[in-house]
Copies of this chain bind each other. A is one copy, B any other.
């Protein structure tokens, strides 16, 4: 409330901006007072290492997480012990919304590389939502987007060919790169081929062959984890028009 605390507010703002809470806070035009409240519920975690779990299905200690740096995957298990990756999360993205459904998380989350995340324990979030309506709206919008995103994945898994799936995956990554003002035609895959395959409902070998094929067609260049999209239009055409892939690939020697 004084000039001394003003400095703290500024720090909080910067901290939140860096902490990728933009989606949660900034678009709602939060006041400094509100920002302070948010800051109280955040637990800043120390970095997690590759293959560390953020949370596991069954954890009753529910939280949502914001990826600050690095990347993370989320997965569900089936009774047979198989797993299905349901999302990859880049800096600025949130995860853990499955925890709202009941007393425990229903999926698990694992770091793909050394990463840092901010954690919002649900109970504390409850309090703040009550005090700051704008957060409540933001949460609802975020969960709505989660639902919409999942629907897009259902469409991908249910109706697309292997090539359409991989093209969709690359275009989606590219868009998300653009959102965070990174190069949208050249980026690193932080996950192994096996995870891409699992996510898209394919075999690893199929993913490998598709990368090779897209490279043959001069649509992308791949070198291990490095991807460069050299012809975005044709990449998008693969998704937009199922017949494009056929004619382009027909009888190539």
Which A residues have a C-beta under 8 Å from some C-beta of B? 76, 78-80, 82, 84, 86, 97-102, 106-107, 126, 129-130, 133, 136-137, 139-141, 143-148, 150-155, 157-159, 198-201, 239-242
B residues less than 8 Å from A199 (CB atoms) = 158
Closest 9 CB pairs of A and B: A100-B144, A101-B144, A158-B201, A150-B150, A157-B157, A84-B155, A101-B148, A101-B145, A143-B143
Which residue of B78, B129, B151 contacts A86 across the interface (Cβ within 8 Å)? B151
Which residue of B82, B136, B151 contacts A76 across the interface (Cβ within 8 Å)? B151
Q: Find out whether the CB atom of B84 lies under 8 angstroms from the CB atom of A144.
A: no
Q: Find out whether the CB atom of B98 lies under 8 angstroms from the CB atom of A148.
A: yes
Q: Find out whether the CB atom of A155 lies under 8 angstroms from the CB atom of B241.
A: no
Which residue of B78, B99, B129, B239 contacts A136 across the interface (Cβ within 8 Å)? B129
Number of copies: 2
B residues less than 8 Å from A76 (CB atoms) = 151-152, 154-155
Most interface-central of A84, A102, A137, A152 (chain B CB within 10 A) = A84
With the chains together, A99 CA to B141 CA distance in Å?
Answer: 9
Which residue of B106, B153, B154 contacts A148 across the interface (Cβ within 8 Å)? B106
Q: Find out whether the CB atom of B80 lies under 8 angstroms from the CB atom of A242.
A: yes
The majority secondary structure among interface residues of chain A is helix
B residues less than 8 Å from A84 (CB atoms) = 151, 154-155, 158-159
B residues less than 8 Å from A86 (CB atoms) = 151, 154-155
Q: Find out whether the CB atom of A144 lies under 8 angstroms from the CB atom of B198.
A: no
Q: Find out whether the CB atom of B159 lies under 8 angstroms from the CB atom of A158.
A: no
Q: Find out whether the CB atom of B141 lies under 8 angstroms from the CB atom of A102.
A: yes
B residues less than 8 Å from A155 (CB atoms) = 76, 78, 84, 86
Q: Find out whether the CB atom of B201 lies under 8 angstroms from the CB atom of A106.
A: no
B residues less than 8 Å from A153 (CB atoms) = 150, 154
B residues less than 8 Å from A141 (CB atoms) = 100-102
With the chains together, A159 CA to B201 CA distance in Å?
Answer: 6
With the chains together, A76 CA to B133 CA distance in Å?
Answer: 31
Which residue of B102, B151, B154, B159 contacts A82 across the interface (Cβ within 8 Å)? B159
